[in-house]
A and B are shown apart, each in its own frame.
Chain A
Amino acid sequence: MKTRIWLRWANAAAALLAVTGLTYLAANGVGPLPALGPTFNPGTGVWTVASGARLPTSETLRTPGLNDPVQITFDKNGTAYIHAKTNHDLFFAIGYLHAKFRLFQMDLMRRQGEGLLSQVVGPAALSSDKFEDQLGILRTAQLEWRQMSANSPARQALLAYSQGVNDVIAKDTATGRLPVLFKLLGYQPKLWTPVDSLVVQGIMTQTLDFSTGPLDYALMVKSLGYRRTMSWFPILPPDRQHPYDPGPYTYGGIAPIEAPVGVSAGEAKAVATVIKRFKSLPKTALHHGSNSNNWAVNGPKSATGQAMLAGDPHLNQTLPSIWYQISGSAPGYHFSGVSIPGLPMILIGHNRHIAWSLTNVQNQATLFYAEKTSPKHPDAYFWNGAWRPMKVIHDVIPVKNAPSVHLNVDLTVQGPIMTQNGQTLAVDWMGALPSPDLASLLGIVKSHNFTQFRNALRNWHAPSQNFVYADNRGNIGLISAGYYPLVKHGDPWLPLSGTGRDDVIGTIPYRNVPQVYNPPSHMVFSANQREVGNQYPYYIGTTWNFFTNGYRADEIYQYLSTHNHMTMNNFAALQNSTHDYLASLIVPKLLAALRNQPLTTRQRQAQTLLAHWNGDMNANSAAASIWWTFWTTYLHDTFGPWWHAYHVPTALDSDLVIGPGQAPFDEDLEAWTLHDPTNPAFNLPGGAKRTAAEVMRGAFAQTVRSLSAKLGAVPNKWLWERVHFRAFPSLAQISSLGYPKHGAGGDQWTVDAADGGMVSTAGPSWRMIVAWGTGAEGVYPGGQSENPLSPWYKNQIPAWWNGRYYPLLTSAQVRQSPYHPTWTLKP
């Protein structure tokens, strides 16, 4: 009997243990496993991804935060047309839409900026979180928020926007309808705040503006020496370029910056440490050459005589896309264009009077300072003749499935300390200064003319952008708004002295930044080329790591300057052009170098392909493969021996790897090949003399060998699409959610740019054409919804891929179309 009792106790205890264990596992998860109960519950778990993919139907939704009813109509691609009776309701509706279709993306972006990725993905994101905590995007965002006056339109917009986002967060959390990745990662988003929006603005600024140029220069000076580094990587480009603002220029002194601004062996060691840290950061953390195009024409250049504008910002191409397309109307606003989820206004688009688009200025916005420290003065740095205590910020980074990490961020007057290894290196980045970008954007959207547009941009500080402009009265313009830091002393392209000697003393006055309005050429254009000619009286950056090699700008210049009476079709053709400008300069030189040379049959076939090629990097072109492989080999054969002899640390800093797309490599080799074929750089470091023609012949022979090995013995079959691809990876880095690689045309400096290597993952993230008097159209490679099952997840990719566009409609036009489901949001 006793045994039976004990057995029953044991059985009950075992059952209790099983229930407890299972309940724990189901409620909390373990290790990488999410909480199984809520995750797989068919009612509110991951399965809701299916119902969440349903397209909108006409319905009335109760939204208590509104003042009046708001109507949101969708077109067949998911573009949302908002009609609101108050400005508050307009911004509320934008927040509501962003959260409905992109909530996970928004949360990911704010987490990246706030250094909170580790909290949801674990220690893998710790390097990113530490970097962001040090850089201080959150600190800047908080400062920006504090500086906004209580009744400023930007503040009101951010508050209303947050309300809209939070309405969705609250409802979807309560009903278990949050996006599926929240469920798999096992967390719920916290409520949205205006500071979160400003953090998203900061993350975009960082992606476009934060660069490691001075660190790269420091490593090159250490290995190649100062003279050779500055000769090969000069401030001004050695080749002929097409700045959009050719001058004349005036020197207008130095304008103050509106906030306190605050290579030895040791420096090199410190630089190496910082570079190592940067290598482990997400791709979007630093500016890595994703660039953009924009242009506008008027008068005889336009078929209608009215102004026309085109813009295609080049960014990382992800699913979901960075863009969310909206059109809005309220008493103060009427606009159509693309917005970034997290921000309450479009960045690119048009209103009833003006159209605008952006490209990156690429001026130097990141400065590094080697601080003077001493063991006798711990936690202090020497500045302006005295030892000053570093300001220390204590931070705690929560880490999923691991203990929290405590981090001290040391701040000097120049900025946060990025390393203390060997040398204390601080970074002074213009993006860390408050920049009322949203106020500027709201001003742009309300502008009717260039004066208002220009005034709206007066306080745009970072990221510095080339704003192209075209209005319905036939005017065009371009202005490069932003901060251009100027230092008291020193070479700003290298780490500077932190003692106060080399501090930033101001910026170029707004009236003196690059800009043009209604030029006699009837065209304006920017494609990240140096905006000004060599006579410009201010330092704005060097050829290395800042401005691009200018070939896209050259191609655009050539097209616009040789065409008149252009239509939207002309602009579409140019935006989708895969013609390689550099090839049109260099291939004739290569063919000349090969003339009368003994060639193998295969080399002769390759030579013939090049001779009959028009320079188009078409997916089906074999000559394109030969050209690109040749140029890459030619670069290596010229610079490689020097890199090897001087031990340039490419393993440490991938930016130093020789290859196409690093502007000064391309510009030097172009200039030397065309005008200086006996430049000493062609010689070998040991002294053996070589000419451009000799190096080209060797590179060509190597090209044919390498393509034969890779693609077979028949040069006609060396199609570009066999070696060059495009892919659109998932933002969450989940391979099954991305768009897999497909053979593609274009290269890094064709107007239809394919950035990021032979499997390109960056390029035109949005293409827009506005022709006043005719219409407007746009397309982006993705879709409006982040739900992978939604028909709007990647529905625009085929059109984008094939160079097609969708019209940017008015609300009235959408309502006349057969498909126009409408949400009526009622307070």
Chain B
Amino acid sequence: MKKAGWSYGLLIWVVGVAAVWFGNQYGLWYVALIAGMLMGLFVQGAWRAFVLAWLISLGGWGFELLWQSLYEPIGRAASAVAGMMGLPVSQGGVVIALTLILAFLFGTAGAWFGVALRRLLSTVFTLT
């Protein structure tokens, strides 16, 4: 039973990461937020929903960067963008961190809203 839960979770994660990654290719940055909401709404257990949302949003954005770094000078890109933002060029890590924090926030906010909505709806429907 536990094994099935893990497999189920893994499947959701893979599908979620793929959806976020695919969305990003078309500029749909908010897919990470939507994925978080869906986790919150449909995954049982708030913490489980949050963890899945984080893994999906961070995976969708982070793996993309990791994948690109195999072929492109992502470190230099981060430094260049830092310079353009008025930061020292040595602060490229800040740009990478900002990107991942943003993904994390999308996952968090989405999952929070999904969980809150699910709880509210369950309470309202229980009352009626």
Residue numbers of A with Cβ under 8 A of B are 4-5, 8-9, 11-12, 14-16, 18-19, 22-23, 26-27, 36-38, 40-47, 49-51, 53-54, 176, 180-181, 184, 732, 734-737, 788-789
Q: Tell whether A43 pairs with B25 under 8 Å between CB atoms, given A8-B123, A22-B33, A51-B72.
A: yes
CA distance A112 to B126 in the complex (A): 63
Does the CB pair A181–B24 fall under 8 Å? no
Measured CB to CB, the closest approach of chain B to A384, in angstroms, equals 54
CA distance A38 to B106 in the complex (A): 13
Does the CB pair B109–A36 fall under 8 Å? no
Apart from the given pairs A40-B102, A43-B25, 7 other A-B contacts in the complex at a CB distance below 8 Å: A22-B106, A40-B98, A41-B27, A42-B61, A47-B68, A176-B25, A180-B81
Closest B residue to A735 by beta carbon equals: B83
Does the CB pair B68–A50 fall under 8 Å? yes
Contacts of B74 in A (CB 8 A): 47, 50
Does the CB pair A12–B120 fall under 8 Å? yes
Contacts of A53 in B (CB 8 A): 72-73
Measured CB to CB, the closest approach of chain B to A163, in angstroms, equals 25
Most interface-central of B37, B72, B74, B84 (chain A CB within 10 A): B84
Of A22, A40, A735, A789, which one neighbours B80 at CB under 8 angstroms? A789
B16 CB within 8 Å of chain A: no
Does the CB pair B84–A50 fall under 8 Å? no
CA distance A612 to B30 in the complex (A): 72
Q: Tell whether A42 pairs with B64 under 8 Å between CB atoms, given A5-B123, A37-B29.
A: yes
Does the CB pair B29–A184 fall under 8 Å? no
Contacts of A732 in B (CB 8 A): 84
Closest A residue to B73 by beta carbon equals: A50
Contacts of B102 in A (CB 8 A): 26, 36-37, 40
Q: Which 5 residue pairs across A and B have the least CB separation, nearest first?
A: A736-B83, A43-B24, A50-B72, A37-B29, A42-B64
Does the CB pair B77–A43 fall under 8 Å? no
Q: Tell whether A736 pairs with B89 under 8 Å between CB atoms, given A19-B110, A26-B102, A47-B65.
A: yes
B48 CB within 8 Å of chain A: no
B116 CB within 8 Å of chain A: yes
Measured CB to CB, the closest approach of chain A to B111, in angstroms, equals 9
Contacts of B29 in A (CB 8 A): 26, 37-38, 40-41, 45
Of A15, A36, A49, A50, which one neighbours B117 at CB under 8 angstroms? A15
Interface of B, secondary structure class, is helix
CA distance A735 to B84 in the complex (A): 8
Contacts of B113 in A (CB 8 A): 12, 15-16, 18-19
Most interface-central of B109, B112, B127 (chain A CB within 10 A): B109
Does the CB pair A23–B33 fall under 8 Å? yes
Contacts of A51 in B (CB 8 A): 68, 71-72
Of A22, A43, A184, which one neighbours B81 at CB under 8 angstroms? A184
B8 CB within 8 Å of chain A: no
Contacts of B120 in A (CB 8 A): 8-9, 11-12
Does the CB pair A184–B84 fall under 8 Å? yes
Does the CB pair A18–B80 fall under 8 Å? no
Contacts of A18 in B (CB 8 A): 109, 112-113
Closest B residue to A27 by beta carbon equals: B30
CA distance A402 to B84 in the complex (A): 22
Does the CB pair B84–A737 fall under 8 Å? yes
Measured CB to CB, the closest approach of chain B to A793, in angstroms, equals 10
Does the CB pair B80–A788 fall under 8 Å? yes
CA distance A40 to B25 in the complex (A): 12
Interface of A, secondary structure class, is helix
CA distance A737 to B64 in the complex (A): 26
Most interface-central of A15, A40, A737 (chain B CB within 10 A): A15
Contacts of B83 in A (CB 8 A): 734-737
B6 CB within 8 Å of chain A: no
B21 CB within 8 Å of chain A: yes
Measured CB to CB, the closest approach of chain B to A322, in angstroms, equals 21
Does the CB pair B76–A12 fall under 8 Å? no
Does the CB pair A15–B68 fall under 8 Å? no
Closest B residue to A736 by beta carbon equals: B83
CA distance A11 to B118 in the complex (A): 11
A-B contacts, 13 listed (Cβ < 8 Å): A11-B120, A15-B112, A15-B116, A15-B117, A37-B30, A42-B61, A43-B25, A50-B76, A176-B27, A732-B84, A737-B84, A788-B80, A789-B80
Does the CB pair B109–A42 fall under 8 Å? no
1/0 contact string of B21-47 vs chain A (CB within 8 Å) = 101111101100100010000000000
Does the CB pair B80–A12 fall under 8 Å? no
CA distance A736 to B84 in the complex (A): 7
Does the CB pair B27–A43 fall under 8 Å? yes
Most interface-central of A18, A43, A736 (chain B CB within 10 A): A43
CA distance A42 to B72 in the complex (A): 12
Contacts of A181 in B (CB 8 A): 84
Contacts of A9 in B (CB 8 A): 120
Measured CB to CB, the closest approach of chain A to B84, in angstroms, equals 5
B51 CB within 8 Å of chain A: no
Measured CB to CB, the closest approach of chain B to A654, in angstroms, equals 27
Closest A residue to B72 by beta carbon equals: A50
Measured CB to CB, the closest approach of chain A to B82, in angstroms, equals 8
Of A4, A8, A176, which one neighbours B116 at CB under 8 angstroms? A8
Does the CB pair B24–A42 fall under 8 Å? yes
B85 CB within 8 Å of chain A: yes
Does the CB pair A737–B80 fall under 8 Å? yes
1/0 contact string of B50-63 vs chain A (CB within 8 Å) = 00000000000100
Most interface-central of A15, A42, A735, A737 (chain B CB within 10 A): A42
Contacts of B30 in A (CB 8 A): 23, 26-27, 37
Of B26, B84, B99, B112, which one neighbours A44 at CB under 8 angstroms? B26
Measured CB to CB, the closest approach of chain B to A18, in angstroms, equals 5
CA distance A9 to B99 in the complex (A): 31
CA distance A43 to B30 in the complex (A): 12
Measured CB to CB, the closest approach of chain A to B87, in angstroms, equals 9
Measured CB to CB, the closest approach of chain A to B122, in angstroms, equals 9
Measured CB to CB, the closest approach of chain B to A801, in angstroms, equals 22
Contacts of B24 in A (CB 8 A): 41-44
Contacts of A27 in B (CB 8 A): 30
Contacts of B106 in A (CB 8 A): 22, 26
Does the CB pair B77–A46 fall under 8 Å? yes
Contacts of B110 in A (CB 8 A): 19
Closest A residue to B80 by beta carbon equals: A788
CA distance A47 to B65 in the complex (A): 8
Measured CB to CB, the closest approach of chain A to B31, in angstroms, equals 10
Contacts of A37 in B (CB 8 A): 29-30, 102
Of A19, A44, A46, A737, which one neighbours B25 at CB under 8 angstroms? A44
Q: Tell whether A43 pairs with B26 under 8 Å between CB atoms, given A12-B120, A50-B68, A50-B73.
A: yes
Measured CB to CB, the closest approach of chain B to A50, in angstroms, equals 4
Of B33, B72, B80, which one neighbours A736 at CB under 8 angstroms? B80
1/0 contact string of B93-105 vs chain A (CB within 8 Å) = 0010011001001
Q: Tell whether A50 pairs with B77 under 8 Å between CB atoms, given A38-B29, A42-B24, A734-B84.
A: yes
Measured CB to CB, the closest approach of chain B to A27, in angstroms, equals 8
Most interface-central of B27, B61, B110 (chain A CB within 10 A): B27
Q: Tell whether A12 pairs with B84 under 8 Å between CB atoms, given A37-B102, A49-B77, A789-B77.
A: no
CA distance A43 to B101 in the complex (A): 16
Measured CB to CB, the closest approach of chain B to A507, in angstroms, equals 46
